[in-house]
Amino acid sequence: MNRRLTRVCAALGVAVLPLLSPRIAAGQAGRRGDVLDVNTASDKQLASVPGITPDLARSLVGGRPFLTATALDAALQPLAPAQRAQVYRRLFVQVNVNAAPDEELQLVPGMTAATMAAIRQGRPFTTLVQLRHEVGRAIGEPAVAALDPFVFVPINLNTASDADIMSIPRMGQRMLREFKEYRPYKALAQFRREIGKYVDAREVARLERYVTLE
């Protein structure tokens, strides 16, 4: 918000934060760009990643969902460490910045000790905007922006906006309606039961990675 608008708001007795909220209501899973989600990419897309053979692509599809980056790393053990590092720049499973242990954070492309320290210090994050702001102060805006394809902040099932929910990979309007229909959720077991009416257990597990009731 520019200074003139800030002065106008003050003169009118209008709070600044509500005027800002439409701008900061961003989705909680980072923008993926050209980084594929291993849990939703097709066999053909997976095989297009340098180092991923058709056989390995089929193996990845059969092993879904990968609930952590370390689980994906284990599935890619046929590749050398340097090969896996290159794969992760094109193919990844987003990391929960509030819960991921160091060994998972270390797999994020471009991750440094300084970035990890800033993430640990800032936890828990409630939004990606907060993550970008707080971690960006420590490592700079370009570096924190580079994290976007690889991280997410869990959304609160009972309060998340449509934009937050729709940021979950492969989320559509129908599932958006189902997420909201059962509010307020009392427990994640309720989420599994209700959403399990529409998708199988593996898909429920994939979706559950992105949600919280805290």
Q: How far apart (Å, rounded) are the C-alpha atoms in residues 179 and 163?
A: 13
Note the pLDDT tens digit of each residue in 85-117. 999 999 999 999 999 999 999 999 999 999 999
Q: Which of 205, 195, 204, 202 is nearest to 61 (CA)?
A: 202
Q: What are phi and psi of 204, to 5 degrees?
A: -60, -45
Note the pLDDT tens digit of each residue in 160-206. 999 999 999 999 999 999 999 999 999 999 999 999 999 999 999 99
Angle of the 128-139 helix axis to the 113-122 helix axis, nearest 10? 130
Amino acid at 18: P
Q: Model pTM? A: 0.84
Burial 124-152 (b: 16+ CB within 10 A, else e): ebebbeebbebbbeebeeebbebbbbbbb
According to CATH, the topology of domain 94-153 is: DNA polymerase; domain 1 (1.10.150)
Note the pLDDT tens digit of each residue in 127-155. 999 999 999 999 999 999 999 999 999 99
Q: Residue 27's pLDDT is what?
A: 54
Strands 36-37, 91-92: pairing is parallel
Q: How far apart (Å, rounded) are the C-alpha atoms in residues 49 and 47?
A: 5
Amino acid at 80: A
The answer to whether 31-93 and 94-153 have equal CATH topology is yes
Class for the domain spanning 31-93: mainly alpha
For residues 108 and 151, the answer to whether their CB atoms sit within 8 Å is: yes
- The structure tokens 């989420």 sit at 191
Q: How far apart (Å, rounded) are the C-alpha atoms in residues 175 and 166?
A: 9
- Per-residue pLDDT band for 76 (boundaries 50, 70, 90) equals very high
For residues 104 and 66, the answer to whether their CB atoms sit within 8 Å is: no
Amino acid at 165: I
Q: How far apart (Å, rounded) are the C-alpha atoms in residues 117 and 123?
A: 10
Domain map (residue ranges) of the chain:
31-93, 94-153, 155-212
User: How many of the other CB atoms lie within 10 Å of CB of 173?
Assistant: 8
Q: Residue 200's pLDDT is what?
A: 97
Note the pLDDT tens digit of each residue in 19-71. 333 333 345 887 778 999 999 999 999 999 999 999 999 999 999 999 999 99
Report the C-alpha dihedral over residues 139, 143, 149, 154, rounded to 10 degrees.
20
